[in-house]
Chain A
Amino acid sequence: MSAISTRPKRPRFDVNGWLFVGPALALIAIFMVFPILHSLWMSFQSGLGMRLSFAGLKNIYRLFNDPLFLMALTNTFIFFLVQVPVMLTLALITAALLNNPDIKFRGVLRTAIFLPCVTSLVAYTVLFKSMFVANGLVNTVLINLGIVNVGIPWMTDPFWCRVMIIIAITWRWTGYNMIFYLAAMQNIDRSVYEAARIDGVPTWARFVSLTVPMLKPVILFTTVTSTIGTLQLFDEVSTITGGGSAGGAAGPGNSALTLSLYIYNLTFKFAPNLGYAATVSYVIVLLVAILSFLQFYAARERKA
């Protein structure tokens, strides 16, 4: 105790210290804090282009009567609820498989599975588009294998369009999340598994009852980052379904319209309404905050 109180007191304002952090703080203030606060202010305004006027809560009322917004919200939730669990489960299983020292070409496989998230977005979306068109590679293979009789309408049916988007983002981000799991798995003391093996704990139980609980912090981390990523989903729906191009709808009947894409459309495609777009942005902020809180709450350390 006394050691703490005898420590020399630092002056609250130390010029040298502030000089070091000053440039960084200034940049953060200009490019992060100000835009965040300004967009919050904008979300209470309405008007075309730069001619904004204060509108109070009008934008918020508008949200509930805007079919496109409700569509985008529904779609975003569908993507989030289906894609995040599928991707993380897949990542966890591949990580467990690739952590097995008996598997050949582990290094090559790890790299191959990780690579999608560093490939060029344009190259990959062009490729996916060509693979999933009516007479593209995917349908040809499925028909030739006899899995389906007629090609799946990836681009023209709302359901299959969403499936395609989910396949695309899962393909791109599974490896990225797998790397986190692999890193965490390699930190687990091997003798824990050896002890379980000697004690006759079957393989599946070692995975479910030992690996998964021990990875809980990493699983929480990837769940939160993936949730944020999916709520902000823009790239794929914009390029693969043509939602980003002028006049193009995001998939058949806007079935792939997401909140981010809708914000983009509100700002740059339709008659620009920056105030309303800012309101929709804050819907995403709110969703991320609520979902992250729920996830942290679900994963909290329970008192023994």
Chain B
Amino acid sequence: MSDVTLRDVRKSFGAVEIIKGVDLDIKSGEFVVFVGPSGCGKSTLLRMIAGLETITAGDLAIGGDRMNEVDPSQRGIAMVFQSYALYPHMTVRENMGFALRFAGLPKAEIRKQVDEAARILELEPLMDRKPKALSGGQRQRVAIGRAIVRHPKVFLFDEPLSNLDAELRVHMRIEIAKLHRDLGATIIYVTHDQVEAMTLADKIVVLRSGVVEQVGAPLELYDNPANLFVAGFIGSPKMNFLKGVVEGGSAGRADIRLPDFGGAVVPVALKGELPAAGSPVTLGIRPSQFTETGDAALPVTVDMLEHLGSETLIYARSTASDLVTIASQSRSNIAMGDTMIARFPSSGALLFSADGKRIY
């Protein structure tokens, strides 16, 4: 069993609280990704699980055993660092086998383990090279190999791909996904790249300033963000946020007036209570939700166009210069400076209260 459980975990550096009470359940074999903006505490939380940072308060358990005070080497984890952290004076083979010498394994056994990892990662032709004679992607594979040979219960990755170029990043992303499938180990993976998070994760943990904003499967977070922050963070291009005012409505429906768009009124389905008329709200629409048949209409001016081939991104402005991104599947003959009516189905729009909470 390699469940990882965090209960009200906190971390302070001096007087500054960086991790402000995190509760998390990670099931055995799950691929969990921590995302969040820079400085939100992703690395700190991962390093606390690894045992490289002490836990100020709360409980950490791996496989059901409390780990707060356990030495990093006894936690059954292995970690892959952003900087690879290879031993520069050792060959690839020595890098992967070094730690096993201290686990009391016989030489032949170490060799077998290292060869097995090299085979999985296709490192065989590089075994006698030193790290400085390897490319970034190869170094990263050696770092992963060094983790594999220890057969950890939990793999920890801290932004392992951020030093690689875009193409290699995609390639390594697939490799890591395969590795997870083949090894079946629990993986905790830190990134600030939300595409990496969406593609790799079974479960995404969105962090902001040391607080968990939402936990869920990638599509769940995409379709049902709990608040403005998650809605804006997950999905690319970013969700459009339009300032609105509650005009009125009835049970299960709110009419939202958009003052920046010539006072267009959009009826939005509502789950909870109808906010008082006149209270400010935010309407969220993903760029891909715009369609020509939508019932809600926004008059906009086209500012910029990006032709990506499969789709066209239209950056448009309202009268009050609110920027709206529209992803259009058709190659219409819109030009910069044109005025147009952007339509979307009002049933797909999300509604957020003034404090950022989702109210539908």
Contacts and interface: CB of A to CB of B under 8 A. Distances in A.
25 contacts: A191-B85, A192-B88, A194-B50, A195-B81, A195-B85, A196-B87, A196-B98, A196-B99, A198-B51, A198-B52, A198-B78, A198-B79, A199-B78, A199-B98, A199-B99, A200-B73, A200-B103, A201-B98, A201-B99, A201-B102, A202-B102, A214-B88, A216-B89, A304-B91, A304-B128
A192 B150 contact: no
Please list the 8 inter-chain residue pairs (A to B) with the smallest Cβ-Cβ separation, ordered nearest first: A200-B73, A199-B99, A191-B85, A195-B85, A213-B89, A191-B81, A198-B72, A192-B85
B129 interface: yes
B81 A200 contact: no
Interface of B: 50-52, 72-74, 77-79, 81-83, 85-89, 91, 98-99, 102-103, 128-130, 146, 150
B198 to A, nearest CB: 27
Contacts of A81: none
Contact residues of A: prevailing secondary structure:
helix
Contact of B150 (A199, A210, A216): A199
B121 to A, nearest CB: 17
A66 interface: no
A214 B85 CA distance: 13
Contact residues of B: prevailing secondary structure:
loop
A205 B90 CA distance: 14
A209 interface: yes
Contacts of B82: 191
B87 A210 contact: yes
Interface in A201-225: 201-202, 205, 209-210, 213-214, 216
Interface of A: 189, 191-192, 194-202, 205, 209-210, 213-214, 216, 304
Contacts of A210: 87
Nearest to B156: A198
A209 B87 CA distance: 10
Contacts of B103: 200
Contacts of B79: 194-195, 198
Contacts of B128: 304
Nearest to A205: B102
B52 A194 contact: yes
B99 A214 contact: no
Nearest to A194: B52
Nearest to B95: A195
A191 B129 contact: no
A214 B51 CA distance: 25
B79 to A, nearest CB: 5
Given A195-B146, A200-B99, 6 more contacts: A191-B82, A194-B85, A197-B72, A198-B50, A198-B51, A198-B79
Contacts of A209: 98
Contacts of A196: 87, 98-99
A192 B99 contact: no
Given A209-B98, A304-B128, A199 B88 contact: no
Nearest to B73: A200
A199 B81 contact: no
B68 to A, nearest CB: 16
A200 B102 contact: yes
Contacts of A214: 88-89
A195 B73 CA distance: 10
Contacts of A304: 91, 128-130
